[in-house]
Structure formats: C-alpha cells, structure tokens
Amino acid sequence: MMKRVLPLLLAVTSVPLVFAARQAPSDRQVTVVERKAERRVDVSVGGKPFTSYIYPQSLEKPVLYPIRSASGTLVTRGYPLEPRPGEAADHPHHVGHWFNYGDVNGFDFWGHSSETPAANKPKMGVIVHKAILAAKGGADAGMLMASADWNIPDGSTLMHEQVQFEFRAAAGMRSITRTTTWTAADRPVTFNDTKEGAFGIRVARELDHASKQPTRLVGSDGKPEAQPRVDTSKTTGQYLASDGTEGEAVWGTRGPWMALKGTVNGEPLTLVVLDHPSNHGYPTYWHARGYGLFAANPFGRQGYDPKQPPITFTLKPGATLLFRHRILVLNGHPSRADLQKAAAEFAAEKGQPRL
C-alpha cells in the first residue's frame, strides 16, 4: 500500500461549457456512498444511479460498472457480470470502465479474467484494491479516491496506484474525470509495445457497429449461445475521431479525443473519451473496435502500425506517472465542432507536464 496519500490534483473542474444546461439544484446533487461490505462505492445524481466503483474478488481489477446516461440508460455492456439477451458474449475481461495494460514487465494485466486458462496464469497480473481514501458528494460534483496495487503471480507488487474520480452532471450530460497516478515499487517497470491497452470501456450492444462477422450472443436464458451468429438488429454505433475519420477506420489512429454515437433504447447518445495534453503518449492511439471495445492506448505504437519500430516506456523505482482522462456521456449527437470545444476546455485545465 502507498505510504502516503498524494494531494488532490483535480479539486475543482467544471462541466464542459458547450454542454452546460440549466438543471434544478436537486437534480445535480451528486452522492458518493461507500458500501464496504459489498466491496463497492455507489455514485448517484439527483437520487438516481450513475455508476459504481466495484472491486469484487471475482474481478482481476477494480472497475466502474455500470455507467448510465443522464436518463438512466445503460451505456456499458452487462456481460459477464449481468448478461443481457442479445449482447456479445466475448472478452470477459472487458467489464465497464478500467485502466490497465497488456505487457508490463512481461505480465498481462489487460487480458486477465475468471476465464483465463490455468496454463496462462503465470504470466497474468492482477490489480488489487487496497483502500478507499476519500468519498464525498456535493451540490454539483462528487469525488472518490482509492488506492490499489499491481501484483504479479509471485505476490510481489510492480506498481502502486492512486486514482481520483470526479463525477459531474448537467441536463443531458454526465462526466467522469479520472486522474491516475502510478508509482513504481522496488524495481523498474516497463510498458512494452502492444495494442492491448489501456484506458478502456466496453459499451452496450446498441453502441456496437453493425457487422457481418458471426458472434456468440447472450441468449434469452442469460447464457452464451452455443453457436456464433450474425445479428445486427440492435447495433447503431458509429465512431467519430477528432480528425473526422469515421467508423471502424478509427482503429489505430491518434488524436486527442474519440466519440462513439448511437441510439440506445430509442435514445440518441454519444460517448466521448478525452486525452489530456499532459499525458504520456499524447495524442493517444485508439484501440477502438467496432464490436464494442472503446480504448485509448498511450504505450502502443508498433501494435497499431507494424511499419514502426516498437517503443517502450520505463518507470524507475519510486518514479511516478500521472494520467488525466475524461469520459462524457451525452444526450443527442453533438457536432464535431462541439466536441472539439469540449476537448479544448479539458486541455486548458491545469495538468502535470508529461514525463
């Protein structure tokens, strides 16, 4: 466990002005409640669920799950925790929102799940929740701080993690600003080049791209069907990159933000991930897949472009690396210009220089 609590770096931010709208004070009230016995912290807005920070022993990392829009619509996939009929039953390590990586000193923190074969376990890492450091609600914002350790199979710790989430709301908008600080323990920590990372979200089926690729789906009984099949009856997703690239062509591109637009239960929604200029690897590569994986990867390069040489990044013992990201869940389908403004506002917020 970390020996000290790092200072609050994002004590005050704001709702993106371009999306700000009037809302009754009671509807903006953010409540953050720790439920230690249930290994979770619940976040609500105006008395209605928004998301939860969960760390059950069945998961190999803490996650935010599920995430909802302002109207309460689920924007994250339920499988494997709460399978919903028609969802893709794949990649069981994709749960809600997480931040990890697929090759840290040769260990895979990204692909580890309860379904990892026993033969692969010796090369798998786990992020172990240690403590809730702070949990506070407020009239228009809530904050949560937690610590965790990145452990490898011999029980030793590669890195200590401290994370701060800030939760905000406005009419038709929810935002999560995440500040993540990694501190190398007693040895160098190297992030090797791979596409498998890092700041990820697995979205609801309706936000997947339509595809003719057969997929195993969750059946009406809540269990994965035996045979893959093609079913695009629910899929409406469409990626939009900051440079204007659309659709599945966004995979492996670089940019300060990425949006995913679609319609969930008849509600037009847009999910946006913003990368801060202070982050290592900015502008990030996007590991954004049409099947519903929406991720930003600051460490991969050859993993996305085989023509480039591999790249690595090493933290010396005791050294720290800080990341700032923002997730926006927006009603409607805002223009690219509006999303550029939101990204510019985020970029203008004070951050730590890149290492």
Query: Residue 180 burial by CB count (10 A; 0-12/13-18/19+): exposed, middle or buried?
Result: middle
Residue 124 domain flag:
yes
Total tally of structural domains belonging to the chain: 1
- Which region, left, alpha or beta, applies to residue 258 given φ > 0 means left and ψ of -120 to 50 means alpha? beta
Helix (H, G, I), strand (E, B) or coil at 190: strand
- pLDDT confidence of residue 69: 98
First to last CA, the chain: 23
DSSP for 29-94 reads: -EEEEEEGGGTEEEEEETTEEEEEEE--TTSSS-EEEEEB-TT--B-B--TTTS--TTSB---TT-
Residue 9 domain flag:
no
- pLDDT confidence of residue 1: 39
- pLDDT confidence of residue 352: 47
- pLDDT confidence of residue 140: 86
Q: What is the CATH classification number for the domain harbouring 56?
A: 2.70.98
Distance between CA atoms of residues 325 and 306, nearest Å: 27
Alpha helices (H) in 65-202, listed in sequence order: none
What is the extent of the structural domain holding 312? 29-348
Residue 310 domain flag:
yes
8 A C-beta contact, residue 261 and residue 333: yes
Residue 24 domain flag:
no
Distance between CA atoms of residues 89 and 84, nearest Å: 10
Residue 81 domain flag:
yes
Residue 353 domain flag:
no
Other C-beta atoms within 10 Å of 297: how many? 28
Give 345's DSSP letter. Answer: H
- pLDDT confidence of residue 17: 59
Distance between CA atoms of residues 304 and 255, nearest Å: 14
Which residues are paired to 93 by β-bridges? none
Residue 22 domain flag:
no
Positions in the chain short of pLDDT 50: 1-12, 352-355
Distance between CA atoms of residues 285 and 250, nearest Å: 10
Helix (H, G, I), strand (E, B) or coil at 18: helix
Sheet holding 63-67, edge to edge: 30-35, 40-45, 48-54, 63-67, 97-101, 197-202, 293-297, 285-288
Residue 15 domain flag:
no
User: What is the pTM (predicted TM-score) of this model?
Assistant: 0.93
Place of tokens 């050859």: 302
